[in-house]
Amino acid sequence: MVPFLHIGPVEVPTFGLMVALAMLVAFFVLRADMARRGIATKESGAAEAFIAIPCLAGIAGAKIYHVLQTPRELLAHPFAEIFSRYGLAWFGGLIAGVGAFAWLAHMRKIPLLDMFDAGSTAAALGYGVGRIGCLLSGDGDYGVPTSLPWGMSFPHGLVPTDQRVHPTPLYELAAACLISWVLWRLGGKQVQGRPAKSGASADSRLPSGGVFAAYLVLTGVARFLVEFIRINPRSFLGMTNAQAASVLSILAGGILWWRLRRRGIT
């Protein structure tokens, strides 16, 4: 593994490089989705704002959530914990990123569910690309030991191990690519509409919020399952913190879809 690239006297973390690549990939996907939905043209610069601000907020939120998970270490070494280059929690980043995304949509007077739908595919794919950074840096996001032929060791990672373990970042990358493909196709149904079936409403498009609901459920399920082979400690009802957050994500997506159906949109 290559936690850092050394360019002369400059030390560049590979995790940071992959986060930057994830932002770039998410930008192009979001810009295309906003354009096909008629929310903003590719030349408007809206996609840049909807990527840059939520991503920065997400990084800050991920860091804050991470340090709050270990209050004893935070109180003992507050400066080192807060300003360390390591330690980002997915759920904290999700909360802060979604909050910033919603704020931007409100400021630009874009319907919230429409904007969440547009951002779902970009968020799913960007997350997967970012996980490559976890693999390259060997930051401890790998899984439990395995005898499977694709098991990997991380002897030079930030959290080293000589055992062959599940390369869970690659599993999450594969899941993210599949989820983003599904979400993109669902978004196409929103834009183009579907022929009404016999006895169905003339407007049988996937409702606003439908793609976002699917994103919450699918990403929640993917993260919940991969946690069974991750090395994260169990805490709440025998689950990891990420699994507890995943359950909340799945419930939120299910409730949103139920409310959309109750409103008679589908």
Specify if 263 maps to a domain: no
pLDDT-derived band at 24, boundaries 50, 70, 90: very high
Residues 185-202: tens digit of each pLDDT: 999 988 886 444 433 344
- In this predicted structure, what is the pLDDT of residue 195? 47
Residues 157-171: tens digit of each pLDDT: 989 999 999 999 999
Name the residue range of residue 35's domain.
Answer: 4-191
| Contact (CB, 8 A) for 14 and 5 | yes
Specify if 253 maps to a domain: no
Specify if 202 maps to a domain: no
Specify if 56 maps to a domain: yes
pLDDT-derived band at 35, boundaries 50, 70, 90: very high
| Contact (CB, 8 A) for 93 and 65 | yes
Specify if 214 maps to a domain: no
CA distance 94 to 55: 9
Specify if 256 maps to a domain: no
- In this predicted structure, what is the pLDDT of residue 163? 95
Specify if 226 maps to a domain: no
Residues 224-233 as b or e (16 or more Cβ within 10 Å = b)? bebbeebbee
Which residues have a Cβ under 8 Å from the Cβ of 140 and sit 6 or more positions away?
Answer: 157, 158, 159, 231
Specify if 206 maps to a domain: no
Q: Is the pLDDT of residue 62 over 90?
A: no
**Model confidence, pTM:** 0.86
Residues 130-186: tens digit of each pLDDT: 999 999 999 888 999 999 999 999 999 989 999 999 999 999 999 999 999 999 999
Domain count across the chain: 1
